[in-house]
Amino acid sequence: MSIEIIVLAAGQGKRMHSALPKVLHRLAGKPLLAHVLAAARTLAPRRVIVVHGHGGAEVRAAIGDAGVEWVDQAEQLGTGHAVMQALPRVSPDAEVLVLYGDVPLVRADTLRRLADAARGGLAILTAEAPDPAGYGRIVRSSGGRVERIVEHKDATPEELAIREVNVGFLAAGAAPLGQWLARLKNRNAQREYYLTDVVAHAVAEGVAVNAVKAAEWQEVTGINSRHDLAILERAYQNAAARRLLEAGVALADLWRLDVRGELECGRDVSIDVNCVFEGSVRLGDGVRIGPNCVLRDVSVAAGSEILAFSLLENAEVGARCRIGPYARLRPGAMLAEEVHIGNFVEVKASRFGAGSKANHLAYIGDAEVGSRVNIGAGTITCNYDGAAKHRTVIEDDCFIGSDATLVAPVRLAKGSYIGAGSTISKDTPAGELTVARARQITVPRWKPPRKG
């Protein structure tokens, strides 16, 4: 039987106090719904249907249509009603999994267990809640069989004492699920059609109801408030930190790390506090990351060090480089081995050859920098004329004095020396000293201005 998945993502999320649809709030850099869809796709489902409502156009735009079918729940009349909107899209022979778009940490192996447990019956996902308030309780018979699920607002005092709760996910064949949904009533405190009521209908027909218990509560916790989101963010990041520690990465503090994508580390990597890794980041053997750094879609080769408060984005750093502190590598920065990019230096769309250095207060944009080049403090490449970008070429073994201005397009030939304070707008000859400054004069008998 083929699996087809329905993801319920129509809730407004009033307790988030935000104009953003709840399922688009981000955890580890991705929308909550994107986490659920990623777990769902590991089951190789034949179809994934997302039921949206509040902010539907925004949700669709953020997630895209690749591999997803969208269904609008114009009126939010409960979870059962939401599944009713999607069921006409489901194949009659399918096994249906119903997931929730605001439960981001659910694991793929848990979904597989849920799907396996539904064969020939109905399977629901449960967990032992540390605080079950607000959740539907699992009511079992004296023999331990699941009889029904009672919502918190409809529960008796005895039922409220139950700690095993329904987390909303279920799996069943499409045909019986459709029959149970057709019998739902909205005779409850919320005047809604509860998906959970299908359990009682299944039990009444003698259908086996299998409860699959999640290993950890946080895996099945839904997001209903900013507080919930913050708690799960830390849970996600702490789990990521534990995996890094187990792989041999030295973390200064496992509570002060944020991985918002994929972080791949070699041997003997060390990461200081308050670092953020976004997109795809690869750190080679022996790389050291100082405190308060942000790396986004970056590769750093073996033996390099990124010092404090540096920002690297869409860049490649070669072996044994030294970056920072307070350095910025913008998209297109590519550094060969043993390059030094120092404090308050910005590099954009530029290549640096082996052993080159820009140690202080420089901007190098749209440039080709050769090997063993020294760029002095205050140097800038003037790469933009107001309409187009132009490139600066600095060949091997050049020495650029402090406060030089290189007006692109321009080429500094191999071994050029540029005098401090020069504005270079013409190509320079190899191995020569080029100075381009205004003539210095002293004004005789000059008097400073006086007040009044």
Selected catalytic residue, list 54, 152, 360, 390: 360
Concatenated DSSP letters of 424-451? E-S-B-TT-EE---PPP---TT------
Distance of alpha carbon 381 from alpha carbon 434, whole angstroms: 16
- Domain definitions of the chain by residue range: 3-220, 247-434
Asked whether residue 14 carries a pLDDT value surpassing 90, the answer given is no
Fold of domain 3-220: Spore Coat Polysaccharide Biosynthesis Protein SpsA; Chain A (3.90.550)
Length of the chain: 452
Fold of 247-434: UDP N-Acetylglucosamine Acyltransferase; domain 1 (2.160.10)
Q: Is the pLDDT of residue 76 over 90?
A: no
Predicted TM-score (pTM) of the model is 0.88
Average pLDDT over residues 181-196: 87
Examine the residue annotation and report whether 360 is marked as an active-site residue of this protein: yes
**Structure tokens that stand for 286 in this block:** 């022996």
How far is Cα 111 from Cα 7, in angstroms, rounded to an integer?
A: 13
pLDDT digits (tens, 9 = 90+) for 111-166: 999 999 998 789 999 999 998 888 889 988 888 888 888 888 889 998 899 999 98
374 pLDDT higher than 90: yes
Compute CA distances 23 → 9, 42, 117, 204, 426, whole Å: 6, 20, 27, 35, 56
